[in-house]
Amino acid sequence: MTGKIYIVGIGPGASEYLTKKAIDTVKMSDYTVGSTRAIELFDDVQNRIAFNVKDLLDKLDEGVKLAVDGNTVSILSTGDPGFSGVLNTVLRLSRENGFPEEEIEVIPGISSLQLAAAECHIQWDNANVMTFHGRENIEDILPVINNGKTTIALPSRKVKDMAKFLIDNGVEPERKVTVCERLSYPDEKIVTGTLKCIAESEFTYMCIIVIEP
């Protein structure tokens, strides 16, 4: 008997951004796969399979195989599974393991991008929305950076490296930029300054960068 896979969006990081659907789904699952930080957001977890960056694929594959064996498995994805999440990876592993896609349900979550747009009062359906997580082709930002819209991006490298890249490629050093760091956490920080200023500052890897038109 085939099991069930739920790909569960867990929001930007704080438990207050978990949806009731996410909480109820994890509670009824036989196994929950996710980073230690993600799993600890939930009070009621039956069997935990925690991963880190190095063993991510192995643990996701283990979760899919458990579903093939008839178990109900929740796979936790930071933010929303469809935006810099694990959706495509889980779908690929499911195909490789012969698990039917119709037995996969995606539980959407609130992404840090949405939270950044809210904090900055941005109507984000009219913004350039980009992610560079796991990608090196940062130059893809260049064709849109001057199209008159706000650009909201998840950088793949350090924020200051992206700022330097933009300056080196002709974007005005005085361009207004806001960096939203560790959104929803107690040490959340939102910094607004020029691109030049941001290029000279240090931030953690958990950031959203908002570039004004």
Together in a domain, 58 and 121 = no
- Regarding whether 46 and 89 lie in a shared domain, the answer is yes
> What CATH number should be reported for the domain holding residue 195?
3.30.950.10
pLDDT at 54 (0 to 100): 85
Q: Decide which of 107, 125, 143 is a domain's last residue.
A: 107
* Shared-domain flag, residues 183 and 130: yes
pLDDT at position 84:
87
Residues 49 and 116 in one domain: no
Residue where one domain finishes, among candidates 107, 133, 163: 107
pLDDT digits (tens, 9 = 90+) for 102-147: 999 999 999 999 999 999 999 999 999 998 876 667 888 999 999 9
Same domain, 141 and 204: yes
Q: Are residues 103 and 116 in the same domain?
A: no
Q: Looking at the structure, tell me whether residues 95 and 126 fall in a common domain.
A: no
Could you tell me whether strands 189-194 and 176-181 are parallel, antiparallel, or unpaired per DSSP bridges? antiparallel
Does 132 lie in the same domain as 54?
no
Determine the pLDDT at residue 52: 86
Task: Report the domain count for the chain.
Answer: 2
User: Is there a contact between 7 and 81 (Cβ–Cβ < 8 Å)?
Assistant: yes
Judgement on whether residues 73 and 19 belong to the same structural domain of the protein: yes
Residue 122 backbone dihedrals phi, psi, to 5 degrees: -105, 130
Task: Report the CATH number that the domain containing residue 69 is assigned in CATH.
Answer: 3.40.1010.10
* Predicted local distance difference test score (pLDDT) of residue 136: 66
pLDDT at position 135: 66
Domain boundary (107, 136, 154) is at: 107
Which token pair is 68? 């093939």
Q: Would you state the pLDDT for residue 27?
A: 97
- Please check whether residues 118 and 161 belong to one and the same domain: yes
Which pTM does this prediction carry?
A: 0.90
Q: Do 92 and 133 belong together in one domain?
A: no
104-107 and 128-131 beta bridge pairing? unpaired
Taking CA atoms, 91 is separated from 3, 50, 103, 149, 153, in Å, by: 15, 19, 11, 33, 25
pLDDT in tens, the chain (213 residues): 789 999 999 999 999 999 999 999 999 999 999 999 999 999 989 999 998 878 999 999 999 999 999 999 999 999 999 998 999 999 999 999 999 999 999 999 999 999 999 999 999 999 999 988 766 678 889 999 999 999 999 987 789 999 999 999 999 999 999 999 999 999 999 999 999 999 999 998 899 999 999
Taking the C-alpha atoms of residue 91 and residue 169, their distance in angstroms, rounded to an integer, is: 37
Domain housing 46: 4-107
